[in-house]
Amino acid sequence: MKEELNLYLELLQKLQFLYDKSFNLSIRTSGSNDISFKEENAKNIFARIVLLTIAILRILPRSKYFYDKSLEFWDISSPAILIRGLVESYLVFYYLCIDNISKEESEFRYKLWVYHSEKEREEMLKTIKPMEKA
């Protein structure tokens, strides 16, 4: 058990370090105004990644960002949900911003991504089946 805790603390320290560096990078690049469509998307998605990371760190026990150090409990489902959002954001970031593609393909990918998001929302609404007016 002690080995697992030590591994957890080591990985937690690395995540905190990455967050600190990412936050500083996000702050330094936040004032850019004359940027391309792709760079604007990259900036916004990167900011989302940084915000999800701090949310994860605030609920992980023994994190220097943990919201209440006097109460330590292991809530595995909350970080799992946030980590899924983090991974999805990273994949979107790579798909829309990092891949070396033409401007036309970049704009097409963005429109396709928005289309799939809207389609997914529509499917969820169909599943919910709002109450019909009488």
User: Considering the entire predicted model, what is its pTM?
Assistant: 0.63
pLDDT digits (tens, 9 = 90+) for 2-40: 999 999 999 999 999 999 999 888 888 777 777 888 888
**CB neighbours of residue 61 within 10 Å:** 16
The two tokens of residue 53 are 């990371």
CB within 8 Å of 78: residues ≥ 6 apart: 59
Residue type, 86: L
pLDDT of residue 134: 47
* Tens digit of each residue's pLDDT (9 = 90 or more) over 69-92: 555 666 676 788 888 889 999 999
Could you tell me if 96 and 109 are in contact, meaning their C-beta atoms sit under 8 angstroms apart? yes
Residue range 113-119: average pLDDT?
92
* DSSP calls for 79-110: HHHHHHHHHHHHHHHIIIIIS---HHHHHHHH
